[in-house]
Amino acid sequence: MKSLLLLLCIFVVSLLLTAAVRRYALSRSLMDVPNERSSHEVPTPRGGGVAIVLAFLLSLPLAWGMGVIEGGVLLAFLPPGAWIATIGFLDDHRHIPARWRLLGHFLGAAWLLVFSGGLAPLVLAGGRPDLGLVGDLLALIYLVWLLNLYNFMDGIDGIASLEAVTVCLAGALCYWLIGRGELGWLPLALALATAGFLAWNFPPARIFMGDAGSGFLGVVLGGLSLQAAWVAPQLLWSWLILLAVFIVDATWTLLHRLLRGERVYEAHRSHAYQRIARSWGGHLWVSVMVAAINLFWLAPWAILVALEKVDGLLGLIIAYAPLVLVVAYSGAGRPDNRVVS
């Protein structure tokens, strides 16, 4: 009962903190002003992701004190989460060169990886290979990529918030279905911290997340997926399936921009979700579509993998295939002035 009450408090704190951050941003003119590379049309307060960060991180010591989470979880998520959010906050207010941001991202991700135990042995082709240091290096790159792709994908109202909420809810459900429901508290905490912000960010957004929130969500979601793999190795595949919309769109777009010799760290509007939003003339239905894909297409496959009814790699290929086709058809990664018809 106490753990459920704490979850409710997380939502309320996030909701109220977002309102306070919005009021502060308006008073200090901390606005995201539209330009030719923006997907919004009116100046909007930014930095609301700080509410997600504070609501989630402040709950961890309380959850540890109540015996809801272990001390190792607190140590794995609190310091790197605060570090990554601080880098994003500073970049929101005073630009940090990309190379220094990336160095900071690797340091934060390395902390999370070390105190999470590294990469668990995978379930692959019926075996469980332990990749050792190579696996840990791949996991480090995965965390940093997920952190940055979440920033890239936070480009229209509500999309990053709905992604986090739906992925975490489905991840918690996977824990429950394999008989480890008590471990679902952490993803539920992140879902509710994000839901409090979503109340202000749902299209049309009254405040934006900012890099502090998006980078934090990316690295924590990555950490949750690595943590899940130590509970049951097949759950890493489940989390990779749940994150498919963001992984496919961001990775496809980045590769195509790299092939054209573009500076991938510069702002642009060539992601699939951005192009579809322009074609549809708004953000609402694109963000809702992403949530629906997560709940009604990706979650069932993630659950089948979690229950070991489907091989993890096979489930991932099946789940990703139609998303790859959609992203390719949309023209993701092409010059910004072309949109899907």
Q: Concatenate the DSSP letters of all residues of 266-331 into one string.
A: S--S-SHHHHHHHHHTSSHHHHHHHHHHIIIIIHHHHHHHHTTSS-HHHHHHHHHHHHHHHHHHHT
| pLDDT per residue as tens digits for the range 144-192 | 999 999 999 998 999 999 999 999 999 999 999 999 999 999 999 999 9
Q: Which residues have CB under 8 Å from 278's CB, separation 6+?
A: 39, 269, 339
- Give the pLDDT of residue 270: 84
The mean pLDDT of 94-120, rounded to a whole number, is 93
Contact between residue 152 and residue 214 where contact means Cβ atoms under 8 Å apart: no
Please, what is the average pLDDT of the chain? 91
Cα–Cα distance for residue pair 171/151, rounded to 1 Å: 21
Q: Is the predicted pLDDT of residue 332 greater than 60, yes or no?
A: yes
3-state secondary structure of 115: helix
Encoding tokens for residue 330?
A: 């949309």
The ranges assigned to domains in the chain are 2-330
Task: Give the torsion sign (CA, 87, 225, 196, 35).
Answer: positive
Residue type (1 letter), 143:
L
Q: Residue 340 pLDDT > 50, yes or no?
A: no
Buried-state track 295-321, b at ≥16 Cβ within 10 A, e below 16: bebbbebbbbbbeeebbbeebbeebbe
> Cα–Cα distance between 222 and 216 in angstroms, integer?
10
Predicted confidence band at 2 (pLDDT cuts at 50, 70, 90)? confident
- Point out the least confidently predicted range of 100-114, 128-142, 161-175, 200-214: 128-142
* pTM score, whole prediction: 0.93
Residue 35, pLDDT above cutoff 80: no
Separation between Cα atoms, residue 19 and residue 196, nearest integer Å: 10
Query: What's the average model confidence in pLDDT over 272-281?
Result: 88
| Nearest CA among 321, 328, 337 for reference residue 272 | 328
Integer Cα distance of 275 and 280 in angstroms: 9
Distance between CA atoms of residues 180 and 206, nearest Å? 38
What pLDDT does residue 341 have?
41
Alpha-carbon span 56 to 78, nearest angstrom = 9
pLDDT over 90 for what percent of the chain? Answer: 72
Mean per-residue pLDDT, 309-338: 89
By the 10 Å C-beta count (0-12 exposed, 13-18 middle, 19+ buried), 285 is classed as middle
Whether the per-residue pLDDT at 40 is higher than 90: the answer is no
Residue whose tokens read 């990555």: 222
